[in-house]
Amino acid sequence: MTPAEDAQLALLLEVAGTPKPGNVDRDRDFPDLRFDHFLAGAVGAGPGLRAAQKGAPVGEAFEEAVAGMSQQEGGNTQFGALLLLVPLVRAAVEHPDGKPTPEGVARVVKNTTVEDAANFFRAFDHADVFVDDPPEDAEDLDVRRGSDAIPAVENRGVTLSDVMAMGDDEDGVAREWTTDFERTFWAANRLAELDGPASARGARVYLELLGREPDTLVAKKHGQKTAESVRVRAQQALEAGPEVVEAFADSLVKDGVNPGTTADITAGGLFVALARGEVSV
């Protein structure tokens, strides 16, 4: 398979994994966000992922992927995952063996431009993404302004790497950009160690990631105390077994607590494992 196809497959395997506490999976829908929306989002992201594979700039490919992803009725399904997958696809293409590495994706990140940042902001015109307020010294770079913020991006001369660094304290996906995708590659390595179907491995690694660090989307929506509580409960569920995991999953869905950042990193890990030939379907 090509890197772009591996990236689409990673999106599909991530949402197919179950139980995935707090997130849509093949056994659990939300009232306004369903499993089939994620399937459609993965298909719609294809042109942008193929553009990344062909060498399009990261920002351009990302905006195209988000625009395609958003062409379904559920809204934002995979914005954060695509923000990881696009540079990972580029890193895979640029590697002689087609295998993404931390060093390779670090080079992709380092080489992003002001125009990449502008296209990142344009992507917010396509999808309603939950974000925090910007830093006080960067109110003109509020991503909720979408393309209206591009003049400020250009005036400041900030690259997409710079933009990610501004949010890495509060956003787990942005933090991957500033840490050479550390958790993504941890997830890939862990996936390679497990046995069983790829989607089941993905669900297990999702829960392990959730038990290791508080989910930043949960922290932004519900507060740090809730995020830490979810982390502790994930760890306890891992130790207790399948019945407790299922109950934990139902509880988070009932309470509207959605560890979406953890799902995004799981998708990134699945891509790396697929591209390295360590997971197959």
pLDDT in tens, 23-34: 999 999 998 999
Q: What is the pLDDT of residue 252?
A: 94
Token representation of residue 211: 């038990």
Q: Domains in the chain, please, with CATH?
A: 3-275 (1.10.4200.10)
Instruction: Give the distance from CA 229 to its chain's centroid.
Output: 22
Longest CA span, the chain: 54
Share of the chain above pLDDT 90, in %: 91
Q: Cα dist. 182→49, 103, 129, 172, 191 in Å? A: 22, 11, 24, 11, 14
CB 203 within 8 A of CB 18: yes
Q: Closest Cα to residue 59, out of 30, 83, 81, 88?
A: 83
Residue 242: which pLDDT band, with cuts at 50, 70 and 90? very high
Indicate the residue type of 36.
D
Residue 55, phi-psi category: left (phi > 0), alpha (psi -120 to 50), beta (remainder): left
Question: Which residues are CB-contacts of 194 (< 8 A; sequence separation ≥ 6)?
Answer: 201, 204, 205
Phi, psi (deg, nearest 5) at residue 175: -65, -35
Residue 25, beta-bridge partner list: 28
Residue 117: which pLDDT band, with cuts at 50, 70 and 90? very high
Q: What is the pLDDT of residue 277?
A: 96
CB 52 within 8 A of CB 4: yes
Bigger pLDDT: 31 vs 51? 51
Give the span between the Cα atoms of 82 and 267, in whole angstroms.
9
Q: What is the pTM of this model?
A: 0.96
pLDDT in tens, 84-110: 999 999 999 999 999 999 999 999 999
H/E element, 260:
helix 260-275
pLDDT value at 246 more than 90: yes
Give the span between the Cα atoms of 50 and 37, in whole angstroms.
20
Question: Which residues are CB-contacts of 184 (< 8 A; sequence separation ≥ 6)?
Answer: 84, 88, 176, 265, 268, 269, 272
Q: What is the pLDDT of residue 25?
A: 94
CB 145 within 8 A of CB 163: no
pLDDT in tens, 118-169: 999 999 999 999 888 877 778 888 898 999 999 999 999 999 999 999 987 8
